[in-house]
Amino acid sequence: MTVPAYFSATYAKARSKFLKACEERGFNVESHHNDRAKGAEGEDLYMDVVRIGPDNTSKVLFISSATHGGEGFCGSGVQVGMLEEGYFNDLPEDTAVILIHAINPYGFSHVRRVNEDNVDLNRNFLDYSQGLPDNSDYAEVHDMLVPDDWHGPAYKAAQSKIDAYVAERGLGTFQAAVTGGQHIHSDGLFFGGFKPTWTNDTLRAVSKQHAGNSKHLALLDFHTGLGPYGHGELIYVGDPTGLPRAMSWYGDDVTSPEAGTSSSAIVRGTIDGGVCDMAPNASHTCVAIEYGTLPVMEVLESLRADNWLYLKGDISSEQGKAIKKQIRDAFYGDADDWKNMIWERGTSVVKMALEGLREQK
């Protein structure tokens, strides 16, 4: 297979490539069925997990795709390619790699960022016993993001308000207000939910099973839609004490939203929290690898359009089809040059992660 052939045009095709690649190598896949929704083609939805390496290793590397649904075309392609090319054939005996294919299978299949409950899973992993965070920044922009029509008078009025907000307070402030995560409008954008989702519960169980007793845990979570075209920014997430270790593994260009060096705003409730909770005695080195596609305002526009479509529009209409193409283009650079860039950076980062784990005592 060529590199572009590792990538797929639909969730169903991506899943079958992943399962076939595992089967051909004798790897046993655990398939976690999400019975709360169906796929865009009526198919069943699964989070598929494969462990490569022995049970109970002290070191574990998780490589995950599709936390944000339609971003899964990218991560799935890298996972399939690494299986096909035997990247994990010679792991040290104290190390296992866990590939998680489709953290959010609903969003992957329907090409949406969110899950079946309109929840952004990378905002859902909070400690709900502590109450919900303050969302006053988002409250101010919600009505601008969710107009009653799309490209009609309500849209145009909302657009003027967004333009005024950005002109007055800057794009960074707008991006932070919109994307930081909110727990007040279940029909809004970047909604983190009111409680743990199916993915949250499932991912915690998977993490406990595969890394509960580990000493060193690393996570690479594949994302798209932020930063320069095809560039793979490594965004450090989680406990700040791990940032120097991540930099020693991956280089000084590891970014941190908290330090203001990332294309991402500061966000709360990312998936690494759930994974790390289940491995309480391990060191945690977690990064999101974020590949650029289109300029950030175009990406946000596609998310607003998709949100409007499922709330108030008709998916089968011409407008609906145009919006689905728009969001697909915003999260999947469906071109050979983009796929080759994803592959080169993705595989080199995986090698650095394994090398970094190797050095841990």
Residues that bind Zn ion (CB under 5 A): 68, 71, 223
> Closer to Zn ion at the Cβ: 237 or 323?
237
> Closer to Zn ion at the Cβ: 68 or 339?
68
CB of 120 to Zn ion, least distance (A): 9
How far is residue 115's CA from residue 58's CA, in Å, rounded to a whole number?
32
CB of 224 to Zn ion, least distance (A): 7
CB of 295 to Zn ion, least distance (A): 16
Contacts of 45 (CB under 8 A, 6+ apart): 11, 33, 34, 37, 38, 39, 102, 105, 106, 109
How far is residue 117's CA from residue 34's CA, in Å, rounded to a whole number?
12
CB of 216 to Zn ion, least distance (A): 25
> Closer to Zn ion at the Cβ: 59 or 68?
68
Q: What is the arrangement of strands in the sheet containing 95-101, beginning at the earlier edge strand? A: 29-34, 45-52, 95-101, 59-64, 216-229, 283-292, 232-237
CB atoms near residue 142 (< 10 Å)? 17
Contacts of 315 (CB under 8 A, 6+ apart): 309, 321, 324
CB of 18 to Zn ion, least distance (A): 19
Cα angle value 46/61/128 (rounded, 5°):
65
CB of 321 to Zn ion, least distance (A): 23
> Closer to Zn ion at the Cβ: 165 or 191?
191
> Closer to Zn ion at the Cβ: 112 or 284?
112
How far is residue 298's CA from residue 226's CA, in Å, rounded to a whole number?
10
How far is residue 25's CA from residue 317's CA, in Å, rounded to a whole number?
43
Q: Tokens in use for 248?
A: 């020693």
> Closer to Zn ion at the Cβ: 224 or 283?
224
Q: What are phi and psi of 351, to 5 degrees?
A: -60, -40
> Closer to Zn ion at the Cβ: 87 or 108?
108
CB of 296 to Zn ion, least distance (A): 12
Q: Which residue is nearest to Zn ion (CB)?
A: 223
How far is residue 47's CA from residue 53's CA, in Å, rounded to a whole number?
20
How far is residue 27's CA from residue 44's CA, in Å, rounded to a whole number?
21
